[in-house]
Amino acid sequence: MSDNFKSQKEYINNKFIKTCLENGFFTDEIEINDLIINKINLGGDNYCSDIYQGHVVYRLNNKNFNGEGTQRVEEIQLIIKRMPKKKQGVLQRLQIFNREKFFYTQLKIRMETLMTLVKKPWLLAPKLYHHSTDPFETLVFEDLKQLGFQLSSRQHGLNKNESLLVMEKLAEYHACSILILNKFNDLNDIRNRYKCGLLNDISIKSDSFQLLFGGQLLKLAQLLAEDLEFSQSSKKLLNYYNQFTENVLNSIYPLEGQVNVLNHGDVWVNNLFFKYDKKLSDGNPTPTDIRFIDFQLSFCGSLGFDINYFLNTSLQLNVLEQHRDTLINYYAETLLKTLRQLPYDGSIPTIQEILDEITAKEAYGWVIAFSLFPLMSMDATDSQDNSLESLNDSVFAQRKIDLMFKSKSRTVETLKFIIKRMEQLQIL
């Protein structure tokens, strides 16, 4: 193992990795030859987990009933997601480990099986090799990078082709969840398991929520007050802040609408892995496939939550300005097409009902825009020391708030565009 990992005296050792691979490959004939573990996540990329990459060289013994057979040496990369309680903070009450484990061991498998009736191959997320609670809540996945997938830049956002691929996959995922919620909810009690997401009545009413996200809203209002074009918008933000908790709660509740799905709950750039083909003439790679990760904040409710979350956190500004309606229409058409192709015998919504559902949750999109988007788009150097614990400190939080709006010009310019839309919708 690498020295930096050895010094931590961790439990992720040869024995643990052997168990992971034997569970994943359904065998008890694996021996670990070499193991290198490195921590790979930084602050600003993952707030409630420690992420490690494991490079494993192992020997697989293929034996028959007589004990005879062959041996072969293989290499594999794993992603190890450790979820210590001390890092989870307010998320502990959501039981994020159990949510994600249930998704990967139950719902993902069911969805991928259902979608074989529609298109092959269709995979939603990485393979889960192993889960454990001793000594820490831990999930072990295949490494999507070894399969040719990669992350886009959270600082720059997604281009049009990447965004269209996200909307297509999200529509297919939502369609599968509609079928499962209608046919299988009694068996798995899905709605009870996924009652709420990151923003809920308890987290929103906490002092830390208003300290950080209310502080961001005030900082944005201050910046806009200095811009003649947005001086009136600045006053509207201050009015919004005067009833901050009530306004945020009203943007989220009720969770259910006319068209309800199992929301991913955290659809943004860092939870989307793309595979690319040859480059286009403009130099942009062509995305050909996508996988989603991190289903720990999933919740049941209006499909408008996921759509507005994604649109207000993850697009390049020109894509948001020029192609917002195109993306939404493509999502709606794909959702309906997929529902018709699945063995779904429930009520199928109209295009207009889907569009209305998205519009009904635009106030939620605004909350995501001023609260989470500035954090997500910070430069890596400015966000390395971010954590749920440190952001609860008022001095630290204020310093970070100042950095958020200086870090990337895209942040303020995107928020200006979103504010104009919110004003047109009379949300502000």
Out of 82, 102, 135, pick the residue that ends a domain. Answer: 82
pLDDT of residue 6: 45
Is there a domain that residue 161 lies in? yes
pLDDT score of 314: 97
pLDDT by 10s per residue, the chain, length 428: 444 444 344 788 999 999 999 999 998 889 999 999 998 876 556 667 889 999 999 998 876 555 556 678 999 999 999 987 765 566 778 889 999 999 999 999 999 999 999 988 999 999 999 999 988 899 999 999 999 999 998 889 999 999 999 999 999 999 999 999 998 766 568 999 999 999 999 999 988 898 899 999 999 999 999 999 999 999 999 999 999 999 999 999 999 999 999 999 999 999 999 999 866 556 677 899 999 999 999 999 999 999 999 999 999 999 999 999 999 999 999 999 999 999 999 999 999 999 999 999 999 999 999 999 998 998 877 777 676 666 777 787 788 788 888 777 889 999 999 999 999 999 99
Q: How far apart are CA 132 and CA 294, in angstroms?
A: 17
pLDDT of 403: 84
Instruction: Let me know whether 182 and 265 are in one domain.
Output: yes
pLDDT tens, position by position, 206-221: 888 988 999 999 999 9
254 found inside a domain: yes
Helix (H) or strand (E) holding 120: none
Same domain for 120 and 25: no
Structure tokens, 242: 């005067």
One domain for residues 68 and 9: yes
Q: CB under 8 Å to 192, separation ≥6 — which residues? A: none
What pLDDT, on a 0 to 100 scale, did the predictor assign at position 15?
92
**Helix/strand/coil percent split, the chain, to 5:** 55, 20, 30
Write down the pTM of the prediction: 0.92
Task: Answer yes or no: is 38 within a domain.
Answer: yes
How far is Cα 150 from Cα 143, in angstroms, rounded to an integer?
10
Q: Phi then psi for 396, rounded to 5 degrees? A: -60, -45
The reply to whether 38 and 165 lie within a common domain is: no
Domain end call among 25, 58, 82 = 82
- Spatial contact of 371 and 380, defined as CB atoms under 8 Å apart: no
For 88, 267, 361, the CA distances from 297, given in Å and listed in that order, are 12, 10, 18
The residue segments making up the domain with residue 194 are: 116-127+152-425
Separation between Cα atoms, residue 392 and residue 33, nearest integer Å: 44
Q: Domain check: are 71 and 181 in the same one?
A: no
The verdict on residue 318 lying in a domain is yes
What tokens appear for 206 in the block?
């906490």
**Domain shared by 209 and 331, yes or no:** yes
Q: How far apart are CA 68 and CA 61, in angstroms?
A: 9
Contact 85, 108 (CB under 8 A): no
Pair (44, 171) in one structural domain:
no
Classify residue 97: in a domain, yes or no.
Answer: no
| Inter-residue contact 269 to 313 (CB < 8 Å) | yes
Q: What is the CA radius of gyration of the chain?
A: 22
On whether both 181 and 315 belong to a single domain, the answer is: yes
Q: Is 179 exposed, middle or buried (0-12, 13-18, 19+ CB in 10 A)?
A: buried
Q: 37 - beta bridge partners? A: 54
Q: Would you say residue 215 lies in a domain?
A: yes
Query: Do 63 and 121 share a structural domain?
Result: no
Reported as half-sphere exposure (CB side, CA atoms, 13 A), residue 113 has a value of 9
Q: Is residue 136 part of a domain?
A: no
Q: Give per-residue pLDDT as tens, 400-413.
A: 788 888 777 889 99
pLDDT at 2: 46
Evaluate whether residue 134 is within a structural domain. Answer: no
Number of domains within the chain: 2
CA triplet 403, 415, 320: central angle to 5 degrees?
125
pLDDT at 147: 95
